[in-house]
Structure 1
Amino acid sequence: MTRTATGLIHHPYTPPDSFAAPQPGVFKASTVFFKDVAAMRARDWRSKAGYTYGLHGTPTTFLLEERLATLEGGTACLLVPSGLAAISLVSLALLKRGDEVLIPDNAYGPNKALATGELANFGITHRLYDAMDPADLAGKLSERTRLVWLEAPGSVTMEFPDLPALVAACRARGVTTALDNTWGAGLAFDPFALGADVSVHALTKYPSGGGDVLMGSVVTRDDALHLKLKLTHMRLGFGVGANDVESLLRSLPSLPLRYAAHDRAARELACWLEGREEVAQVLHPALEDSPGHAHWRALCGERNLAAGLFSVVFDERFGTEAVDGFCDSLALFRLGYSWGGPVSLVVPYDIGLMRDASVSRWPHKGTLVRFSIGLEDVDDLRADLAQALARMA
């Protein structure tokens, strides 16, 4: 007779497989069972035709990967624990000692920190280029350049580069391009239609939408490139939790609706702030006076999408202390990094430090604040901004 513990573990009942519901099932596994030794030896972890181990995929992770690949216009996707992990995976997979990577100087800061830290320790050099000057990029491409990072718009200063021109310069030299497409979210433009080789995405932001999930993705169209990335993905042991994947699968269907709502509110508030005497400039790709607006219009104008981010340069008469006080006076906007969730966020930045570390021709002076517009009522957000501006003035 089978004893209780064994019977509970090896109970013979298996539920029927005809269950269907709006949300897919969640499969959690490290160990995966095989029916026999022959099946175990025949199974290839590089293929989605079967399962080998939890790190290499489950029905839950495979489903999210396929949906994300479709979202971004690619054919294959890898999930990683964060957006920065996605950047790290690409750089570590495609670069080796003696190689060089070029990074836009207005890019996501941790990408540059990775280059000055781990990549430099591995004998990989990097240079920064002016994302708003394709000629600067073209002039810096060398025989050692193996990877060029692209980002649109700039992470804090929101300039929108001429992505097709940057990609063309790289393709002419046979250099691989990787685009941080977190802002575009697979909705504002097609990264592969403009010729990018890799698209990385911080799923932490708009796809999650709740400010409670850390995850990233790496999407490609080329099978050989995907395999190269997947081999490094395996060796680094990258994996994501099934419950986090479930959260993404629940949020993904509403992504276009939420993205459009963030976009509408951000444009309305950006236009309102343009008329305030405390503000020297509003940096938002969809505003005509914002750097790179023509490039945004050429690439994104047909879809007319521009996310929920913008930055504000305050008049020079307002110093750091005054701008910090403005941020502290906000009631609905919370101080916090990241973006794409339901709560509006604000972060102040020191333009002087940014200018000192830049190879670009920064035209800005004063103090800059980046806003991430959430899903609150736009009139309430405007009233919150107005009271904080009044206190600052």
Structure 2
Amino acid sequence: MKDLSTRLIHHPYKPPEGFEAVAPGVHKASTVFFPNVQALRTYDWKDKSGYTYGLHGTPTTFTLEERIATIEGGKHCVLVPSGLSAVTLVDMAFLRSGDEVLIPDNAYGPGKSFAAVELAAWGITHRYFDAMDPDDLARQLSPATRLVWLEAPGSITLEFPDIPALVARVQQANQARAGQRPIVTVLDNTWGAGVAFNAFDLGVDISMQALTKYPSGGADVLMGSVVTRDESLHRQVLLTHMRLGLAVAANDAELVLRNLPTMALRYEAQDTAARELAQWMQAQPGVVKVLHPALPDSPGHATWKRDATAAACLFSAVFDPSIPQSRIDAFCDSLKLFRLGWSWAGPISLCAPYDMASIRTRAWPHTGGLVRFAVGLESVHDLRADLAQALGALQA
């Protein structure tokens, strides 16, 4: 090889094997080389025994999948580009035209929208149930039901459901329809993150997460995961994942891998801070209700205390109905450390006002405005002072 261009591409040097460091290696690839034709024809990416194409996995993504599966207490994991894509992947893996999916009325809004628009266009129906009433779920189950979504706690309003009781209702229905396609239960476990509780110990079939939140922790990565223990369920998810061409970037996987070792520490710190601020917020003028699973009067507190050991970084405050939304918006605008923005579990505290009437199909028990807070890693003293000055302006 005399020409420089060829020598630069086909250089003979290979670094020695055996290199180890704290951070896993970052492998980027579309094309993957095979040593011979037999390997090209026989390597199988599905069981992680070989590499075939960058879309189907590299040492970097396989490592992250295995670590997420371990955190969740599962056996198999697939990675997707966002938490929402994890929701849609599960829907598309297990639902067919004529099927029905049941969704908690307090579930993640974009997942509900996917059911209402895309799934409906494909001939898949959906209904909502009260996650705090297992008997309501039992009443909603029909011969067409094939998938039941669960979320702990509920999005925005943070009610903590009795997951084992909800799963039991589905299992009873499956026993009654032996020989038919079973109903699959899937939990959005983004809030628990595999830290607050083990989803599979509570009985669910599938656990999905927005890795964007706690596993990332930096507010700079979008990613999701779908974890299973059952081989057949994993295979359904994996093959749908392949046919949809879903993949995550190696550098994004690198960032999540880098932040995983601190996740438990961050979770505990933000949990502690959120509890302190939620308790303080209860006593403030103009606030009629604070929603946080660890508060004794928050819906589902007893179930949270039974099933979980931690409570993440979120709490929501319901304001007095006499306070107009314009003043609540001004309260949010006057906060200095709590920034306006979506998502949570990053280093910076966030807040956002919500119109509950527009995102619930069932009656919401409060008429006052609601603001959700996500506590970051700032000083609790400084965050409390920020809330105090904004509440003072609200009262004035």
1:278 equivalent in structure 2: 286
2:338 equivalent in structure 1: 333
Question: After the TM superposition, which residues 1-393 of structure 1 pair with which residues of structure 2 at under 5 Å, given as runs?
Answer: 1-174=1-174, 175-300=183-308, 303=309, 305-354=310-359, 357-359=360-362, 361-393=363-395
Ranges in structure 1 where 5+ consecutive residues have no aligned partner: none
Shift of 1:45: 2.7
Shift of 1:2: 2.3
SS of residue in 2 equivalent to 1:282: strand
User: Could you list the per-position Cα deviations for residues 141-197 of structure 1 after superposition, in whole angstroms to 9, with x for gaps in the alignment?
Assistant: 111100000001110111111111101111112221000000001010100011100
SS of residue in 2 equivalent to 1:110: helix
User: Could you list the per-position Cα deviations for residues 354-386 of structure 1 after superposition, in whole angstroms to 9, with x for gaps in the alignment?
Assistant: 4xx423x52212000000000000000000000
- TM-score, normalised relative to structure 2: 0.97
- One-letter amino acid of the structure 1 residue matched with residue 61 of structure 2: T
- One-letter amino acid of the structure 2 residue matched with residue 98 of structure 1: G
How many Å separate the matches in 1 of 2:2 and 2:81?
A: 42
| TM superposition outliers: structure 1 runs of 4+ over 2 Å | 351-354
Ranges in structure 2 where 5+ consecutive residues have no aligned partner: 175-182
The answer as to whether partners of 2:342 and 2:350 remain within 8 angstroms in 1 is yes
Shift of 1:352: 3.2
How many Å separate the matches in 1 of 2:195 and 2:13?
A: 44
Amino-acid identity (%): 64
How many Å separate the matches in 2 of 1:138 and 1:105?
A: 15
How many Å separate the matches in 2 of 1:254 and 1:167?
A: 32
The answer as to whether partners of 1:100 and 1:147 remain within 8 angstroms in 2 is yes
The answer as to whether partners of 1:309 and 1:371 remain within 8 angstroms in 2 is yes
How many Å separate the matches in 2 of 1:75 and 1:142?
A: 30
User: Could you list the per-position Cα deviations for residues 257-305 of structure 1 after superposition, in whole angstroms to 9, with x for gaps in the alignment?
Assistant: 00000100000000000111210000000000101111111111xx2x0
Shift of 1:43: 1.2
2:180 equivalent in structure 1: none
Shift of 1:47: 2.0
Shift of 1:315: 1.1
User: Could you list the per-position Cα deviations for residues 50-89 of structure 1 after superposition, in whole angstroms to 9, with x for gaps in the alignment?
Assistant: 0000011000000000000000000000000000000000
How many Å separate the matches in 2 of 1:264 and 1:231?
A: 41
- One-letter amino acid of the structure 2 residue matched with residue 281 of structure 1: K
Shift of 1:353: 2.7
The answer as to whether partners of 1:351 and 1:366 remain within 8 angstroms in 2 is no
The answer as to whether partners of 1:68 and 1:77 remain within 8 angstroms in 2 is yes
